[in-house]
Amino acid sequence: MAKILITGANGFIGSRLAATMPVGSTVRLNGGDELVERLVLVDHVVTNSVAGPDGAEWFEGDLGALVAAQPDLFSSADAVFHLASATSGECEAELDLGINANLLSGVALGRCLASAAHRPLLVFSSTLAIYGSTPEAPLPTVVDDSTYPTPQNSYGSQKLMLEVFFADLSRRGLITARSLRLMTVTVRPGQPNGAASSFLSAMIREPLQGENANVPVNPDLKVVLNSPDGAVAGLRHAGAASDDVWGGPRGVNLPGISVTVGEMAAALAVVGGADVAAHLSWERDETIERIVASWPAEVASERAAGIGFADDKPFIDAVCDFAATINGG
């Protein structure tokens, strides 16, 4: 029997992850099958439209404040999937916001879990943005397990600091930490958020719904993505792998989809037609382009393959998946 807690559960990936583990279902955790006895969902805002899977318990509020006010809610969990985060654009625009929402709340969560007697499992949603290119240390063409992280934005820096902190708690035997570095998740529904990468979803989402979208980067810019299904499956597998299979508490790069922005536009035209693709404009934004261009364009991970993470689907399939949701498929 297991109590599972998800932070950021009202978000796109958090809500999809929660839907895969309703109360009464069986979930694999650290190499063993467990019956979900409680599913606790936490977010800073819980919308009225959120229902969640059957039996879920919702808690609304700032994560750091909730940890301080209700520590037992967190420390009693057998497994925590920590997805709550301010976005890359928000963190770059407001340093204090990112420090509080990402770094300090994550430290508070980790310390709370470390106080438990049963060594909780913590699956942390990290990011490819821990890698960045500088003139002194340019990124290799393909980022692999040996590439040294040099984040070039506050979001990536905060995520990397948490990776190191959680790994230290795991080294001490206080928690079992699994940091999984997600690529940019595309295609996301809803409205654009504050992420620098938000246009990567918007350039597909808006035209398929008859709306215009601007692409603020050069079409030759290559990015690495995860489909929504790939991200959720990756988080599930990070929690499922046994300690022996996972190995040490180092972060793992989730296999992704490497594609140019121009190829993304071409996939849109194939799925939606030329009239749909005509909704795209190409007015460049130097700030966004600088941030996104500093991230890896291709990622290879022998370690992920050894742990059993599956390859993601082709990008055009992710476009088809989103188009099907619009058409009621």
What is the distance, to the nearest Å, from the Cα of residue 3 to the centroid of all Cα atoms in its chain? 22
φ and ψ at residue 323, rounded to 5 degrees: -60, -35
**Catalytically annotated residues:** 155
- Pairwise CA distance, residues 175 & 196, whole Å: 32
3-state SS of the chain: helix, strand, coil percent to 5? 40, 20, 40
Residues 132-141: contacts with CB under 8 Å, at least 24 apart: 132/156, 132/294, 132/295, 133/293, 133/294, 139/294, 139/296, 139/297, 141/297, 141/298
| C-alpha distance from residue 169 to each of 96, 174, 178 (Å) | 25, 5, 11
3-state secondary structure of 252: strand
Largest CA distance in the chain: 59
